[in-house]
Chain A
Amino acid sequence: MGWPIAARLGGTLLLAATALAAPASHALAQDGPVMKRIAETKTLNIGHRDASPPLSFIGQDGKAQGYSIDICLKIAEATKEELKLDKLEVKFIPLTPQTRIPLLTAGTVDIICESSTHTLGRSRQVSFLNTTFLTGSKLLVRKNSGIKRIEDLTGKVLVGALGGTNERAAQVEIDKKGIKIKGGEIVKVKDNAQAMLNMEQGRADAFTSDDVVLFGLASLAKNPAEWEVVGPYFSYDPYGMIIPRNNDDWRLLGNKTITMLVRSGELHAIYKKWFEPGPSNINYPMSERLRENLELIALPD
């Protein structure tokens, strides 16, 4: 069962690798307004999420934190150095899936550090930094539920965050396989936290999201042992930081920072800090695929 997905993953990785090499060869370098804005205002506006642990979330202290946030803080350091600023104020702006693209294109945020899947559709609107995380859609279920894969959802309630890529992928899968879920429709709620609340209260049987998000939410649950993440991937989701399009200098700086982090091993350390097992005990060791992908983006000088 893993084979077709693996093939798809491999193919996509190849694509990603060629895509990486491609821009330099034929696209004209364009220096956008972001770097200038940062230099002038001496502020960097980082967009983050409220509840996407451990990538981007609000901790007990009410502050934004996580794997993506740590990487972005490194980018902030590099920016300060690159622009030779005496100080650089980092502001955190909470985003929702509905607002991130408008606020980015409007210039309210300079970089989005959360858990966004790099898609072709989105690439028409925004630009992504190199993939720093790999995941895909799975299902979160109660251990005793007997649900092992999406086909087992006949007569069950499936919940997902409104407008996410997972909910769409699940819908496609359900339609393709003719699965009859309870109520005939996926229950679409405001965000992951609310979906989880639906699960905790026993209103829903399965919750679809990226597996890492599911692992994160389960690890933060009242009783983490109750939950498990099941099923083969039914979508493939590479995550990357989002920046506005046509800002090649900003993009280069971001990618350069990530490359440096990979080469120095710092990125692996950040990964370890958040995922192995991480403050919330998520225990999501770095996959071979991600390790290889990181090697691919660690370009030489």
Chain B
Amino acid sequence: MEGGFDFAILIRNAPFLWGGMVLTLQLTGLAVAGGLALGLVLAVLRLSRIPFVPALVAGYVNFLRSMPLILAIFWFYTLIPKLTGQSVSSFYSVLIAFILFEAAYYSEIIRAGISSVRRGQIAAALALGLSNAQAMRYVVLPQAIRTMIPVLLTQSIVMLQDTSLVYVVGLRDFLTTADIVAGRDSRPVELYMFVALTFLVVCFSASRLVNRLRRRYAL
């Protein structure tokens, strides 16, 4: 390549890139927390016996799961201000999009986790005189959580990667900061490789950790 590589550019722009990284981590943290909370509610509603509610929840989950995330980001980004007339910063509009979107995925994982506990065990717990809530608390959830956690973590790693999509609305996440520097100084090779390597290291280590957890807590 003309002019060779200039990796010092990464050092010169380190504070700016770090700012992007902070936003990426914040967004991931908040979206995972919000997504888990909402996902849990959705999963419980979906497994409930309230009329129509499970079907509604299923509709919501399937609807969001058939939409590309990038489109969901645009929806919220363009439409929240237009529809509500409220000022919503791009960070919050993207955060809302992520929470609603991830909740659909999390709820499916949680539901699968709860459903994976054999019905016989619940029957046995009830026969032992435990209440419904107690059976859930002492029998179902401890097992369900063990099967869920690795999958939830894996989904969260995917989510960390997906935060790079906020690039399309110009929110300055890690990839966008790199993109700005890449465009400004015309150094795409160095910057994009740096982003890819950073994600590779972070996500690979995280998935190793998940594997270890999986083995340790496997039933």
Any A CB within 8 A of the CB of B193: no
Given A50-B170, A93-B89, A99-B170: A106 and B183 interface contact (C-beta under 8 Å): no
Number of A-B contacts (CB under 8 A): 72
Shortest B3–chain A CB gap in Å is: 7
Given A51-B183, A62-B15: A106 and B81 interface contact (C-beta under 8 Å): yes
A96: chain B residues within 8 A (beta carbon): 169-170
B168: chain A residues within 8 A (beta carbon): 190
Q: How far is the CA of A103 from the CA of B183 in the complex (A)?
A: 25
Q: Is the CB of A99 within 8 A of B77?
A: yes
Among B81, B86, B87, B180, the residue within 8 A (CB) of A58 is B180
- Measured CB to CB, the nearest residue on chain A to B16 is A62
Main SS class of interface, B: helix
- Measured CB to CB, the nearest residue on chain A to B19 is A62
Q: Is the CB of B170 within 8 A of A106?
A: no
Shortest B109–chain A CB gap in Å is: 33
Any B CB within 8 A of the CB of A196: yes
B10: chain A residues within 8 A (beta carbon): none
Chain B interface residue bracket vs A = 20 to 34
Q: Is the CB of B82 within 8 A of A51?
A: no
Q: Is the CB of A98 within 8 A of B78?
A: yes
Any A CB within 8 A of the CB of B172: yes
A194: chain B residues within 8 A (beta carbon): 179, 183
A220: chain B residues within 8 A (beta carbon): 184
Q: How far is the CA of A99 from the CA of B205 in the complex (A)?
A: 36
Shortest B217–chain A CB gap in Å is: 43
Any B CB within 8 A of the CB of A94: yes
Shortest B193–chain A CB gap in Å is: 15
Q: Is the CB of B186 within 8 A of A222?
A: yes
Q: How far is the CA of A106 from the CA of B86 in the complex (A)?
A: 6
Q: Footprint of A on B, CB under 8 Å? A: 3, 15-16, 19, 77-78, 81-82, 84-90, 168-172, 179-180, 182-186, 188
Q: Footprint of B on A, CB under 8 Å? A: 50-51, 58, 62, 93-96, 98-99, 102-103, 105-108, 190-191, 193-194, 196-197, 200-201, 220-222
